[in-house]
Chains A and B, each alone.
Chain A
Amino acid sequence: MSTGPALPADGGTTVLGAGDVARALTRIAHEIVERSKGADDVVLLGIQTRGVPLARRLAERLAQIEPGFDPEAATGELDVTMYRDDLHRHPTRAVGVTRLPDAGITGRTVVLVDDVLFSGRTIRAALDALGDLGRPRAVRLACLVDRGHRELPIRPDFVGKNLPTAQAERVRVLLTEVDGGPDAVVIAGRDAPDDAAGGAR
Chain B
Amino acid sequence: MRHLLSTADLSKDEAVLLLDTAAQMAATQSREIKKLPTLRGRTVVNLFFEDSTRTRISFETAAKRLSADVINFSAKGSSVSKGESLKDTALTLHAMGADAVVVRHWASGAAYQLANAGWLDAAVLNAGDGTHQHPTQALLDAYTIRRHLAARSDRLPDGAVDGVGADLAGLKVAIVGDVLHSRVARANVALLHTLGAQVTLVAPPTLVPVGVGVWPCEVSYDLDATLDGWRPDAVMMLRVQRERMSGGAGAFFPSTLEYTRYYGLDARRLALLDDHAIVLHPGPMNRGLEISAEAADSERAVIVEQVANGVAVRMAALYLLMAGEDSAEGNDL
Contacts and interface: CB of A to CB of B under 8 A. Distances in A.
Contacts, number: 60
A83 B323 contact: no
Contacts of B326: 88
Given A82-B36, A128-B37, A94 B21 contact: yes
Interface residues of B, number: 25
A98 interface: yes
Contacts of B37: 82-83, 128
A44 to B, nearest CB: 20
Interface string B291-333: 0000000000000000000000000000110011110101111
Interface string A88-118: 1111111111100000000000000000000
B325 A98 contact: no
B325 A89 contact: yes
A95 B66 CA distance: 13
A interface majority secondary structure: loop
Which size bracket describes the interface of A in this complex? 10 to 19
A79 B332 CA distance: 18
B327 to A, nearest CB: 9
Contact of A91 (B33, B35, B36, B325): B325
A92 B27 contact: no
B38 A91 contact: no
A124 B17 CA distance: 26
A79 B24 contact: yes
B268 interface: no
B20 interface: yes
A83 B33 CA distance: 14
Interface string B35-61: 111100000000000000000000000
Interface of B: 17, 20-21, 24-25, 27-28, 31, 33, 35-38, 66, 319-320, 323-326, 328, 330-333
8 contacts: A82-B319, A83-B36, A87-B324, A91-B325, A92-B319, A93-B332, A94-B21, A98-B27
Given A93-B324, A94-B21, A97-B27, 10 more contacts: A87-B324, A88-B323, A88-B326, A91-B325, A91-B331, A92-B333, A96-B24, A128-B37, A132-B33, A132-B36
8 closest A-B pairs (Cβ-Cβ)? A92-B324, A82-B38, A95-B24, A132-B33, A87-B323, A82-B36, A91-B331, A91-B324
